Amino acid sequence: MATVTFDKATRTYPGAERAAVDKLEIAIEDGEFLVLVGPSGCGKSTSLRMLAGLEDVNGGAIRIGDRDVTHLAPKDRDIAMVFQNYALYPHMTVADNMGFALKIAGVAKTEIRTRVEEAAKILDLTEYLGRKPKALSGGQRQRVAMGRAIVREPQVFLMDEPLSNLDAKLRVQTRTQIAGLQRRLGTTTVYVTHDQVEAMTMGDRVAVLKDGLLQQVDSPRNMYDRPANLFVAGFIGSPAMNLVEVPLTDGGVQFGNSIVPVSREAIAVAADKGDRTVTVGVRPEHFDVAGGQATSLANDEPAGVAVTVNVVEELGADGYVYGTAEIGGEQKDIVVRVGGRQVPLKGDVLHVVPRPGETHVFSTSSGERLSD
């Protein structure tokens, strides 16, 4: 087991104008499960491959524990990688697939056998040890790929979208198994996915990348509650946070007929940039549906924003209303979570008020978070 440090690690592919991964800085703790997430092409696999030694590092350093591995060969790094396509050897049995790396490393036969049987037990693969990969289900193949990594007892597991070949239901089961397994083994793990739900449910911490640049590293809870910028705000959470551009005012910003409080400093920061607007974010579950009764301080209009219901998604326990609202003279799409027992109809008008303390304010120009 060991810590993993990306110390301004940079990878620029030959002929590329800008770095695929630019000065990546993450300090991963011993035993931590860190998830790298972001849209396609943001540099997740490149980051992982730099750590694996499969990609040159053009700037900065990578350390495993206190060993500088920046220019070390992959085999000398004491890591094991699980790929998206598993890459099992089709002509070998499950047991031989799992033990192959140990055999190459010259580990004694009896030792290999012990480790393979142990891993098979953990992964529920004991009865399949004599089979060839083609006689296994997708989920079982995935577990063999995990087994191949486990038997090596590495300091770090690296996983690049290991669940993307599985159907939706199996993916959910398997992600729980992998997270549980990692916690039991306590092996430091760097896990890549483009699926933010997977990231949020599996990671001790989540690192969000965009265009090769780290946006935020945080616990899933903090990532959700205090996204550092507009990109993270829109990327993490499903349905996504409502983000609406509104004019700057003194002491707060107007969201429909409600005032969203914003600190003076935050407004000053925005004004200093020459911004005339800020972007307010409200998660779908952070609206109170006020009916027609509540009134705002300023006039007799109902408080908040009038949302005309276009589509209702009923999920049983709750539901999502997809509607439109006029905010600042423009029609905006708004998503509101409602209780499953009081679902409105298409065409209804809901008056929704952002719950105090549950709003987010971002600089429209730089995207950075302005509210606390």
Ligand X SMILES: Nc1ncnc2c1ncn2[C@@H]1O[C@H](COP(=O)(O)OP(=O)(O)OP(=O)(O)O)[C@@H](O)[C@H]1O
Q: List contacts with Mg ion (CB under 5 A).
A: 45
**Any contact of residue 20 with ligand X (CB under 6 A)?**
yes
Closest CB to ligand X among 94 and 200?
200
Place of tokens 């890591």: 79
Closest CB to ligand X among 212 and 354?
212
Q: Beta-carbon neighbour count of residue 108 at 10 Å? A: 10
Closest CB to ligand X among 36 and 94?
36
**Any contact of residue 37 with ligand X (CB under 6 A)?**
no
How far is the C-alpha of 214 from the C-alpha of 211, rounded, in Å? 8
**Any contact of residue 210 with ligand X (CB under 6 A)?**
no
Min dist CB 194 to Mg ion, Å, is 8
Considering only 41-49, 262-270, 280-288, 335-343, which stretch makes contact with ligand X by CB under 6 A?
A: 41-49
How far is the C-alpha of 207 from the C-alpha of 4, rounded, in Å? 14
Chosen from Mg ion, ligand X, none, partner binding at 43 (C-beta under 5 to 8 Å by type): ligand X
Q: Are strands 79-82 and 258-261 parallel, antiparallel or unpaired?
A: unpaired
Here the contacts of 197-200 (C-beta below 8 Å, separation 24 or greater) are 197/238, 198/35, 198/37, 198/163, 198/171, 199/35, 199/37, 200/224, 200/236
Closest CB to ligand X among 190 and 253?
190
How far is the C-alpha of 51 from the C-alpha of 361, rounded, in Å? 36
- The length of the chain is 372
- Give the type of residue at 28: I
How far is the C-alpha of 293 from the C-alpha of 350, rounded, in Å? 11
**Any contact of residue 13 with ligand X (CB under 6 A)?**
yes
Min dist CB 84 to ligand X, Å, is 8
Q: Taking Cα atoms as reference points, which of 1, 4, 5, 38 lies closest to residue 20?
A: 38
Pick the binder of ligand X from 31, 41, 239, 367 (CB under 6 A): 41
How far is the C-alpha of 35 from the C-alpha of 205, rounded, in Å? 6
**Any contact of residue 234 with ligand X (CB under 6 A)?**
no
**Any contact of residue 44 with ligand X (CB under 6 A)?**
yes
Spatial CB neighbours of 101, under 8 Å, sequence gap ≥ 6: 80, 148, 151, 152
**Any contact of residue 83 with ligand X (CB under 6 A)?**
no
Min dist CB 164 to Mg ion, Å, is 10
How far is the C-alpha of 307 from the C-alpha of 326, rounded, in Å? 8
Min dist CB 192 to Mg ion, Å, is 6
Considering only 34-42, 63-71, 300-308, 312-320, which stretch makes contact with ligand X by CB under 6 A?
A: 34-42
Min dist CB 2 to Mg ion, Å, is 24
For residue 371, list its beta bridge partners.
none
Min dist CB 301 to Mg ion, Å, is 49
For residue 86, list its beta bridge partners.
none
Chosen from Mg ion, ligand X, none, partner binding at 46 (C-beta under 5 to 8 Å by type): ligand X
The site for ligand X (CB under 6 A) is made up of 13, 16, 20, 38, 40-46, 194
